[in-house]
Homo-oligomer: A and B are copies of this chain.
Amino acid sequence: MDKLPARLNARLARRLELLVLDVDGVLTDGSLWFGARGEQLKRFHVRDGHGIQLLAAAGVQVAVISGRRSAAVTARCRELGIAQLLQGAADKSCALDRLLKKLSLLESQVACIGDDTPDIPLFVRVGFAVAVRDAHPLAARAAHCRTTLPGGHGAVREVVDWILAMRSGQ
């Protein structure tokens, strides 16, 4: 919490109603474990999970939009109580449209964390767009700020800490 991103003032933080997360490269470090039958494992991080539960407890919803499909993601989201899970989203901007309509929210009420160029259409729309530290250079440039931690190593928790600190007026 030493240095909060300039973009995130208290007004923006209190306005946020939804945090949209990418999976591969954000909730994970981008690794895909393959066996003979295709992808078999994903590696998540315990401190990200704790952050997601803290944010939900503070009344901010969490959604996951992923370009891939993975039963491991379904299992992890179930454990964390993430009800809004959109997998196989070829066009993430369309997926966001569906989410906003379903939840009756505005783009400005949404924060988003991504790592690669398919996330840029989300970054340019939402109120607070964050790239993980090891994001693709183009995604990093399109975001409002970058985390200090890489994806899969607590980057999501870092953003949650920023938002909660700003909302509580710290």
Contacts and interface: CB of A to CB of B under 8 A. Distances in A.
Interface stretch (A13-21, A27-35, A92-100, A104-112): A27-35
Interface string A34-57: 111111111111110110000000
A154 B50 contact: no
A35 B1 contact: no
B34 A116 contact: no
B34 A47 contact: no
Contacts of A121: none
Nearest to A37: B75
Given A33-B41, A43-B32, A43-B33, A50 B137 contact: no
B44 A35 contact: no
Contacts of A39: 75
Contacts of A28: 46
Q: What is the copy number of this chain in the assembly?
A: 4
Give the interface SS of chain A, mostly helix, strand, loop or mixed. Answer: mixed
Interface of A: 1-2, 24-25, 28, 30-47, 49-50, 68, 71-76, 79, 115-118, 134, 136-137, 152-154, 157, 161
Given A34-B44, A35-B72, A36-B75, 13 more contacts: A1-B137, A24-B46, A25-B47, A30-B154, A31-B45, A32-B43, A33-B33, A34-B72, A34-B73, A46-B116, A47-B136, A50-B117, A134-B153
The 6 closest A-B pairs by CB, nearest first: A36-B71, A24-B46, A34-B72, A30-B46, A38-B75, A32-B44
